[in-house]
Structure 1
Amino acid sequence: MSLEFVLLIFAVAIAGGIGSVLRLYMGKWQGKLPWGILAGNVAASFLVGVMASSQNFFWAIILITGLAGGLSTFSSFAAQTVEFMRRGRLAQGLLNILTNLVLSSTAVLLGQALAT
């Protein structure tokens, strides 16, 4: 294993830890929807869009896999959506699905547009 690869692994782990801690704090922002998780997913998607066309493979991997991977969370989004529906809050569950999919996808597109 090369030194560069070992450094990449450590950098991804550190960035992932930072993203996860940010998600932990953002996840506390609740309201009609789980706004913190939505914001984390959108921010991570934007970062992926910006870095997807990067010529710097090393930093792209660190920021996409590490930071964005730690910050975004499909499992929390899915669990929160299921909980809305389990409690009979169908409209909130559907709105959570819609906002996460539309805003995150739009954020990737905006990030790509900004990067080019």
Structure 2
Amino acid sequence: MMGTLVQVALGGALGASCRYLTGLAALRLLGAGFPWGTLAVNVIGSFVMGVVVVVLAQVNGTRYAPFLMTGLLGGFTTFSAFSLDALTLWQRGETWAAGAYVMASVILSLVAIAAGLILARSLIA
């Protein structure tokens, strides 16, 4: 139990740090008018989750799941930031941008996890 908790904690710290750096990069590259950083981490995280699920299942690597899936990817992606960003856009009167952001986040994240699954399965099979 303690070993699993340490895995989750270390993965979470690393994932959150990567999320922060991705947000900074998106802000510098694309500006502050749209939550590009949150969108990016959720789509990238979904893709990586798809790959990790297949790889761990293939190599019977369930012992790495707490670090990779709960910790690293849980710390990297964030639904709470997504919710705040969407509500902020809505409250600023940017109804179209809020709707586009919600739709893009959900659709692109689903496409990304499916792409990750397909890629990993094609490489392992």
Q: State the match for 1:99 in structure 2.
A: 104
**Whole-Å separation in 1 of the counterparts to 2:80 and 2:17:** 16
Query: Could you say what secondary structure the match of 2:9 adopts?
Result: helix
Q: Is 2:41 the counterpart of 1:12?
A: no
Q: What percentage of aligned pairs have identical amino acids?
A: 33
**Whole-Å separation in 2 of the counterparts to 1:50 and 1:114:** 7
**Whole-Å separation in 2 of the counterparts to 1:34 and 1:45:** 17
Higher relative contact order (CA 8 A, sep 6+): 2
Following TM superposition, the consecutive aligned residue runs of length 4 or more in structure 1 with deviations greater than 3 angstroms are: none
Whether the aligned pair in 2 keeps the contact of 1:47 and 1:64 (CA below 8 Å) is: no
Q: Is 2:38 the counterpart of 1:42?
A: no
Which one of the candidate residues 6, 20, 35 is aligned to 1:24?
20
Query: Could you say what secondary structure the match of 2:34 adopts?
Result: coil
Following superposition, the deviation at residue 61 of structure 1 comes to: 2.6
- The count of residues paired between Structure 1 and Structure 2 equals 112
Give the TM-score normalised by structure 1. Answer: 0.88
Q: What residue ranges of structure 1 are gaps of 5+ in the alignment?
A: none
User: Which deviates the most, 25-34 or 93-102?
Assistant: 25-34
Instruction: Name the aligned partner's letter for residue 117 of structure 2.
Output: Q
User: Which deviates the most, 32-41 or 102-111?
Assistant: 32-41
Q: State the match for 1:86 in structure 2.
A: 91
Give the TM-score normalised by structure 2. Answer: 0.82
Which structure is higher in helix share?
2
Q: What residue ranges of structure 2 are gaps of 5+ in the alignment?
A: none
Following superposition, the deviation at residue 11 of structure 1 comes to: 1.6
Whether the aligned pair in 1 keeps the contact of 2:7 and 2:66 (CA below 8 Å) is: no
